[in-house]
Amino acid sequence: MVTDIQSYYTSPAGREFTLAAGRFAGINPASTVLDIGCGYGDGSCTIASEFRCKVTAIDESADNIDFAKKLSVERGVSHLITFMHKDANAVAFGGASFELILAEGGVLSSISRKDGLAKAAEWLESRGRLAFSDLIFLSSTAPHEVKKVFDDDAYHYESEESYRKLIDDAGFSIQFLSLVPQSGWDNYYAHMAKRLEDNKGFFADPKVKLAFHREIDVFYRLEGFRYVGFLFCIARKKN
Domain range list for the chain = 15-139+155-182+227-237
Burial of 1 (C-beta count, 10 Å sphere; 0-12/13-18/19+) = exposed
- Helices H / strands E in the chain, number of each: 10, 7
Mean pLDDT of 138-155: 93
What is the pTM for the complete model shown? Answer: 0.94
pLDDT of residue 1: 66
User: How many CB atoms neighbour CB 183 within 10 A?
Assistant: 15
The answer on pLDDT for 94 being more than 80 is no
Answer whether 224's CB lies under 8 Å from 146's CB: yes
Q: Return the ∠ at Cα 180 (arms to 196 and 115), rounded to 5°.
A: 85
Residue from 86, 239, 74, 226 nearest 171 by CA: 239
pLDDT of residue 203: 86
The answer on pLDDT for 59 being more than 70 is yes
pLDDT of residue 3: 67
What CA–CA distance (Å, rounded) separates 1 from 7? 14
- CATH code for the structural domain at 15-139+155-182+227-237: 3.40.50.150
What CA–CA distance (Å, rounded) separates 189 from 37? 19
The answer on pLDDT for 118 being more than 90 is yes
Mean pLDDT of 174-201: 92
Distances (CA, A) of 3 to 15, 16, 22, 34, 156: 11, 11, 21, 27, 31
The answer on pLDDT for 5 being more than 80 is no
Mean pLDDT of 137-157: 93
pLDDT of residue 188: 92
Band (91; pLDDT cuts 50, 70, 90): confident
Lowest mean pLDDT among 5-9, 49-53, 124-128, 148-152: 5-9
Burial of 173 (C-beta count, 10 Å sphere; 0-12/13-18/19+) = exposed
Average pLDDT, the chain: 93
The residue among 100 and 196 whose pLDDT is bigger is 100
Lowest mean pLDDT among 76-80, 148-152, 232-236: 148-152
Band (2; pLDDT cuts 50, 70, 90): low
Mean pLDDT of 27-52: 97
What CA–CA distance (Å, rounded) separates 15 from 204? 26
Mean pLDDT of 27-50: 97
Residue from 50, 71, 77, 76 nearest 59 by CA: 71
Q: What percent of the chain has pLDDT over 70?
A: 98
What CA–CA distance (Å, rounded) separates 69 from 231? 28
Band (89; pLDDT cuts 50, 70, 90): confident
Most distant CA pair in the chain, distance: 49
Band (201; pLDDT cuts 50, 70, 90): confident
> Would you give the distance in Å from CA 42 to the centre of its chain?
10
β-pairing, 54-59 vs 81-85, is parallel
